[in-house]
Structure 1
């Protein structure tokens, strides 16, 4: 078999899973209910965030909160302060690609 297969969790519960972590890319899958999200942090690579379901509420650097609906893809530069969360009743589901893969 040439390909390698990865499976995302199908859930309604808070999920943060690293699906791919190699020297080329980090690929994450996240699910957040209302009031859930990530701790404030700085991006450790270029981040490509795709909203698969729901509405993303995000603050980048010193901007005000912005909201992005299903079908939106954001490109967030390296070393950007991020505050990611779900402020809505509908479940928020995201995929996040970090490229190049962050180095320690």
Structure 2
């Protein structure tokens, strides 16, 4: 078998899964019920964030919180202050890719 296979969690419970972490990329899967999210932080790489389902509420840098629906891909530059939340009833599901992979 040449390929590697990875399985993502299913469901509506909070999950932050580190699916693939290697020297090239970090691939994360995140699920947030209402009023859940990440602690405010600065991006440690270029971040590519895809909204798979639900509605993302995100504040970047000094900007006010903006909302993005499923099917949206955000490209967030390195060292950007991020506030990622689900402020809605529907479950939020994200795929987050960091490239290049951050140094440890």
TM-score band w.r.t. shorter chain: over 0.9
Displacement of 1:49: 0.1
Is residue 2:82 matched to residue 1:78?
no
Residue 34 (str. 1) matches residue 65 (str. 2): no
CA RMSD of aligned residues (A): 0.4
Matched residue, 1:97: 97
What SS does the corresponding residue of 2:103 show, helix, strand or coil? coil
Structure 1 segments of 4 or more deviating over 4 A?
A: none
TM-score scaled by length of structure 1: 0.99
Note the residue ranges of structure 2 that are not aligned, 5 or more in a row.
Answer: none
Residue 90 (structure 1) shift? 0.3
Equivalent positions of 1:17-28 (< 5 A) are 17-28=17-28
TM-score by length of structure 2 reads 0.99
How far off its partner does 1:8 sit?
0.2
How many pairs align?
A: 104
SS at match of 2:30: strand
CA distance in 2, matches of 1:41, 1:11: 26
